[in-house]
Amino acid sequence: MLSINDLRASIEGKEILKGINLEVKPGEVHAIMGPNGSGKSTLASVLAGREEYEVTGGSVVFDGKNILDMAPEERAAEGIFLAFQYPVEIPGVTTINFLKTAVNEIRKYRGENPLDAAQFLKMVREKAKLVSMNDSLLKRALNEGFSGGEKKRNEIFQMAVLEPKLAILDETDSGLDIDALRIVAEGVNSLRSPERATVVVTHYQRLLDYIVPDYVHVLYKGRIVKSGPKELALELEEKGYDWIKAEVEAVG
């Protein structure tokens, strides 16, 4: 489904991603961990197509298509969803209107008819129930005055509505309390299916107690330096990253 080959990317002339290789198959959940400043958020941003980053080499193939030439909106329409680290506030635009526009843009791209108001509402109600999203949040301006937990729930709700084939979640190392972690985990788990894949970027081993990944990768200095089964996350929790850094330095 997703095939990343020797991906290199820079920002302001500084190379951050130095040859990333990753294969994600349908149904899989991959966790990307690693010390601060390793390039985890850069990788998520490059996959989503954010313009600040310059891709200097390698390829990213999603469902057989090279996505590096696509705009972020096209990638979204192809089925890639990125939950942003800091979800934007859009004053005056309600969550529900924002989503209606997004859903119908995607349908248009795919050559499908737009949903009318009644169809859209029905779908949104089902999805809200699925991720325990309160109706009152839907009618408020997007993210405006939302608490941390509400933003997370809203993000997961957006993911449920957009039904991406590949969801990329970048969880910051600050501001997520245990309730917010649970919201994210329950949402991801309720959307797990054999056709869909998830890449979770996280500093929290604890999140992986709830979202059990199929694979764990450690990103360090712009490269994936170690991959393993879910137990690798436990090992990292216990031992930190120093042993991995030492292994990398020893190899040179």
Binding positions for Mg ion, rule: CB under 5 A: 36, 40-41
User: Which residue, among 80, 13, 18, has the nearest Cα to 44 in the 3D structure?
Assistant: 80
Q: How far is the CB of 242 from ligand ADP (least distance, A)?
A: 17
Residue 37 sits in the site that holds ligand ADP (CB under 6 A) = yes
Residue of minimal Cβ distance to Mg ion = 41
User: Which residue, among 175, 179, 143, 177, has the nearest Cα to 158 in the 3D structure?
Assistant: 143
User: Which residue, among 226, 176, 225, has the nearest Cα to 18 in the 3D structure?
Assistant: 225
Task: Give 66 or 172: the residue with its C-beta nearer to ligand ADP.
Answer: 172
Q: How far is the CB of 4 from Mg ion (least distance, A)?
A: 17
Q: How far is the CB of 133 from ligand ADP (least distance, A)?
A: 27
Residue 51 sits in the site that holds ligand ADP (CB under 6 A) = no
Rounded to whole angstroms, the Cα distance separating 18 from 77 reads 28
Task: Give 10 or 94: the residue with its C-beta nearer to ligand ADP.
Answer: 10
Q: How far is the CB of 185 from ligand ADP (least distance, A)?
A: 20
Q: Residues 6 or more apart from 138 whose CB is under 8 A from it? A: 94, 95, 96, 124, 128
Partner interacting with residue 16 (select from Mg ion, ligand ADP, none; CB below 5-8 Å by kind): ligand ADP
**Residues within the interface to ligand ADP (CB under 6 A):** 11-12, 16, 34, 36-42, 52
